[in-house]
Amino acid sequence: MPFLALSAPRLAKVGPSKGRGPLLAKFAPVGFKKGFGAVGLGRHTKKGFFIINTMLVPMFKVPDLSNCKLQCYVAPDTYRIVQQSFRKRELDDGEDF
């Protein structure tokens, strides 16, 4: 029976052969802060407020597209959706919605 020949540590899902897993702040040394890709836009004050530093706010330069000849492309085989009016309708029980 080869299945019984394996010991419990070999059947375990954790161990040295499985690696240490992802590095999270919960299991990291004290003071470790991983972050998740967000940009810090300011700082917290001792009163609990947040002061935004305008130098850290991203500024996007968008060209003027008012006289652009390009338009949105809609495929000719799309289904046409007709929106119904949003007037109040009466139900059988007399309540309006």
In a domain, 40, yes or no: yes
The pLDDT tens digits of the residues spanning 44-60 come to 999 999 999 999 988 89
Round the CA-based radius of gyration of the chain to a whole number and report it. Answer: 30
DSSP percent split of the chain into helix, strand, coil, nearest 5: 10, 10, 80
Higher pLDDT, 47 or 85: 47
The 3 state secondary structure assigned to 36-78 is CCCCCCEEECCCCCEEECCCCCCCCCCCCCCCCCCCCCCCCCC
| Total domain count, the chain | 1
In a domain, 10, yes or no: no
pLDDT (0 to 100) of residue 52: 94
In a domain, 39, yes or no: yes
Q: Is the pLDDT of residue 1 over 60?
A: no
In a domain, 51, yes or no: yes
Lowest pLDDT segment from 30-39, 42-51, 71-80 = 30-39
In a domain, 50, yes or no: yes
In a domain, 18, yes or no: no
Query: What is the extent of the structural domain holding 42?
Result: 34-62
pLDDT (0 to 100) of residue 37: 76
pLDDT (0 to 100) of residue 10: 55
